[in-house]
Amino acid sequence: MGFSLNNIFQFLVPKDKKFFPLFEQATAKLVTLTSNLNDAVNAPLEEREMHFEQIVELDAEIEKITHKTLLELSKNFLTPFDREDIHSLITSIDGVTDFMHDSASRMKMYQIEKITKPIKKLTEINLEATQLIAECVHDLKGHRFERVAVNCKKINKLESKADVIFDKAIAKLFENETDAKKIIQYKEVLSALESATDKCKSVSNVMEAISVKYS
């Protein structure tokens, strides 16, 4: 297999002091964001607003980290791995953030009072997946590629599980709910949560490709 200039130069750089710290900051905040949503769907209605406000703030912070990472990418010649992989990794992490924030926004906008079991389960799956993403970033930094591969498989299984939960929830919603407005509202929330798990799989695919390339 041929080596790019980045493959060669990564061994000459003693320690990446720019990109992995940014990845770790972004994933840590993503886990906190998802934890807030998980707390929100399990909290009484009057306590949810506090979590929603935290989610808005964290989304903005992750957006800033994404922008900073892309800016550093344009300024730095030496990178810990290929430039296109850095771009894909940070933008896919940001993609998860967008849909988690979107899920919270829809719950708030539609004033969803009753949090159904599928909503709770999908939120829980997203929390587990984002925790695994954070672990994978830490393991990529430490060149523990086998652990990355194991956790990426777990993320992919979670995404498949979320698909099944989503499909059953939508079928049940159309079968049992007679209020067209509520059907639309719940479908929108469920769709955003399911899309977030899809984005978690996208992050997993990027990390798995990186680990294969450098192992």
Domain assignment present for residue 139? The answer is: yes
How many other CB atoms are found less than 10 A from the CB of residue 123? 26
Higher pLDDT pick, 80 / 42: 42
User: What CATH number does the domain containing 46 carry?
Assistant: 1.20.58.220
Higher pLDDT, 182 or 3: 182
* pLDDT attached to residue 3: 46
Dmax over CA atoms of the chain, in Å, equals 64
Residue 33 lies in domain: 17-214
Instruction: Please determine, for residue 10, whether its predicted confidence score (pLDDT) is greater than 60.
Output: no
Q: What is the pLDDT, as a whole number, of residue 7?
A: 52
Structural domain includes residue 173: yes
Residue 127 and residue 133: Cα distance in Å, rounded?
10
Into how many domains does the chain fold? Answer: 1
How high is the mean pLDDT of the chain?
A: 92
Q: Is the pLDDT of residue 202 over 70?
A: yes
Q: Residues with Cβ < 8 Å from 132, sequence gap 6 or more? A: 151, 152, 154, 155, 158, 204
User: How far apart are the C-alpha atoms of 104 and 27, rounded to whole Å?
Assistant: 18
Q: Which two tokens stand for residue 19?
A: 């990109």
Among candidates 95, 71, 94, which has minimal Cα distance to 19? 71
Residue 58, domain member (yes or no): yes
* Residue 10 lies inside a defined structural domain of this protein: no
- Is 7 inside a domain boundary? no
CA atoms within 13 A on the CB side of 70: 14
Each residue of 49-105: pLDDT tens digit? 999 999 999 999 999 999 999 999 998 777 888 899 999 999 999 999 999 999 999
Q: What is the pLDDT of residue 39?
A: 98
Determine phi and psi for 117, rounding to 5 degrees: -60, -40
Residue 147 lies in a domain: yes
